[in-house]
């Protein structure tokens, strides 16, 4: 359990949300959870309690005392006590919160975006437990302050990986790839910094940022007569947010992007299929005109069952799902069966991370329709896509 043995102080002035959060932490293995109705009550508890909790979960906007002021008082009572902020922060506010926390010596462990779910809490709590281990882990490499500052300075960018039809070699789509134009480290790939973003509870908000960037670039391509679609990943956890469809549709309106240009790739699939709010959000996104895909590590039975219960039109396999078939006849037969089952569901199949001519031949022979990866092209900046396509127009990869 992600918080086994940990003790929490929850500060939330909304009674129902406070009760739900306390129950959630207990379900995740907390040894003790104390809920308070406001910052002043929490400060009294800290002054009178015999022991200090292992972490505080803090609502940022409260009537009696806001989260910023609470952190000032907390720095005197319990300096270094980890704080998880529970709020729907925009990037500017997040940067301010991170700066205030650092100034007061508060260890800001992450931001739990409302509505709260166990899936959103788990990576932050796991990182909280892992922090004392010597040496930086991928999740702890970049602090919340560094991420928030980079966000406010507009250092996170969307790059684009061309996707091609495996039979014809024609370019059919651009897959979004996140990048960080770091002031001192240069350009960082998503693999280098996304574990830190997700561990701070910002995975959902970052996905929407990349989607907004992709929409803006896609509109510019269409204005130039380049009728490309863009595929961007959405974390599975964000499907529990009742605001998701309105937020995504609002971005499309703001960026003047036609929903039909956009393929929303849900990252991961539940073992028992999509249910409740997730299923509703998927249906509403399709109603709004967005295309839906699923990005998976394993194109096995669970993924195919999930495809059948929601309106997906595409299955995107990461390289780990198909590369073993180069070395194993059993794996190759399983890949062929999975791709055949996807076709029977009328779902397009895509191989991500394509790295060699041998992998191209494998996917084509197994019935996969499209692919992207370094064998096709490295990620490109939005302005470089037109030049790359022009240079490639008369060439064939195969």
Pair (351, 205) in one structural domain: yes
In contact, 48 and 23? CB cutoff 8 Å: no
Task: Spell out, as residue ranges, where the chain has pLDDT lower than 50.
Answer: 132-134, 397-398
- pLDDT at res. 49: 83
Q: CA-CA distance, 197 to 331, in Å (whole number)?
A: 34
Phi, psi (rounded to 5 degrees) for 349: -115, 140
Phi, psi (rounded to 5 degrees) for 21: -65, -40
Pair (241, 129) in one structural domain: no
Pair (286, 346) in one structural domain: yes
Pair (291, 331) in one structural domain: yes
- pLDDT at res. 92: 67
- pLDDT at res. 398: 45
Three-class secondary structure assignment of 25-94: HHHCCCCEEEEECCHHHHHHHHHHCCCCCCEEEEECCCCCCCHHHHHHHHHHHCCCCEEEEECCCCHHHH
Q: In this structure, is residue 230 part of a structural domain?
A: yes
- Of 194, 200, 163, which is closest to residue 178 (Cα–Cα)? 194
pLDDT in tens, 80-117: 888 988 876 666 677 778 888 888 888 888 887 777 78
Q: In this structure, is residue 143 part of a structural domain?
A: no
Q: In this structure, is residue 217 part of a structural domain?
A: yes
Pair (106, 181) in one structural domain: no
Of 110, 136, 162, the last residue of a domain is 136
Pair (161, 100) in one structural domain: no
- pLDDT at res. 230: 96
Q: In this structure, is residue 142 part of a structural domain?
A: no
Residue 134 CB burial class (10 angstroms; 0-12, 13-18, ≥19): exposed
pLDDT in tens, 110-130: 887 777 788 778 778 877 765
Segment (H or E) for 198:
helix 190-199
Pair (356, 208) in one structural domain: yes
- pLDDT at res. 302: 63
* Strand runs labelled E in the chain: 7-11, 32-36, 55-59, 82-86, 107-112, 156-165, 171-182, 186-189, 229-235, 262-267, 291-296, 314-317, 348-352, 370-372
Pair (249, 354) in one structural domain: yes
Pair (286, 354) in one structural domain: yes
Pair (176, 289) in one structural domain: yes
Tally of CB atoms within 10 A around 97:
25
Pair (315, 261) in one structural domain: yes
- pLDDT at res. 292: 93
Number of domains in the chain: 2
> What CATH number does the domain containing 11 carry?
3.40.50.2300
- pLDDT at res. 269: 64
Q: In this structure, is residue 110 part of a structural domain?
A: yes
Q: In this structure, is residue 329 part of a structural domain?
A: yes
Q: In this structure, is residue 146 part of a structural domain?
A: no
Pair (162, 246) in one structural domain: yes
Q: In this structure, is residue 332 part of a structural domain?
A: yes
> What CATH number does the domain containing 319 carry?
3.20.20.450
pTM of the model: 0.82
In contact, 349 and 131? CB cutoff 8 Å: no
Residues β-bridged to residue 162 = 174
Residue 275 structural domain: 154-392
- pLDDT at res. 323: 93
């Amino acid at each position: 359990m992600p918080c086994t043995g940990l003790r929490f102080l929850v500060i939330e002035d909304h009674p129902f949300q406070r009760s739900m959060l306390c129950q959630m932490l207990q379900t995740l293995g907390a040894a003790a959870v104390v809920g308070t109705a406001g910052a002043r009550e929490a400060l009294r508890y800290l002054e009178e309690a015999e022991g200090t909790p292992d972490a505080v979960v803090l609502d940022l906007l409260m009537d009696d005392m806001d989260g910023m002021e609470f952190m000032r008082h907390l720095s005197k009572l319990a300096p270094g006590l980890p704080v998880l902020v529970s709020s729907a922060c925009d990037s500017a506010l997040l940067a301010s919160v991170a700066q205030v926390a650092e100034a007061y010596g508060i260890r800001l462990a992450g931001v739990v975006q409302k509505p709260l779910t166990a899936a959103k809490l788990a990576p932050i709590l796991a990182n909280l437990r892992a922090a004392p281990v010597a040496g930086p882990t991928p999740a702890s490499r970049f602090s919340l302050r560094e991420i928030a500052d980079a966000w406010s300075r507009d250092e996170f960018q969307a790059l684009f990986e061309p996707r091609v039809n495996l039979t014809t070699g024609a370019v059919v789509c651009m897959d979004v790839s996140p990048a960080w134009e770091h002031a001192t480290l240069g350009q960082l790939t998503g693999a280098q910094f996304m574990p830190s973003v997700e561990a701070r509870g910002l995975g959902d908000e970052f996905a929407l940022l990349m989607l907004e960037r992709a929409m803006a670039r896609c509109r510019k391509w269409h204005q130039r007569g380049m009728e490309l679609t863009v595929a961007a990943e959405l974390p599975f956890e964000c499907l529990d947010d009742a605001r998701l469809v309105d937020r995504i549709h609002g971005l499309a309106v703001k960026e003047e992007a036609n929903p039909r240009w956009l393929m929303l790739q849900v990252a991961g699939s539940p073992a028992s299929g999509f249910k409740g709010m997730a299923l509703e959000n998927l249906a509403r996104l399709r109603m709004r005109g967005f295309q839906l895909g699923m990005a998976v590590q394993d194109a096995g039975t669970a993924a195919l069952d999930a495809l059948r219960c929601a309106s997906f039109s595409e299955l995107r396999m990461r390289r780990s799902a198909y590369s073993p078939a180069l070395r194993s006849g059993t794996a190759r037969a399983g890949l062929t069966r999975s791709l055949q089952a996807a076709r029977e569901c009328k779902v397009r199949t895509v191989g991500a991370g394509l790295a060699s001519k041998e992998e191209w031949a494998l996917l084509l022979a197994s019935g996969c329709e499209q692919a992207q990866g370094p064998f096709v092209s490295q990620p490109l900046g939005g302005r470089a896509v037109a030049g790359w396509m022009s240079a490639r127009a008369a060439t064939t990869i195969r």
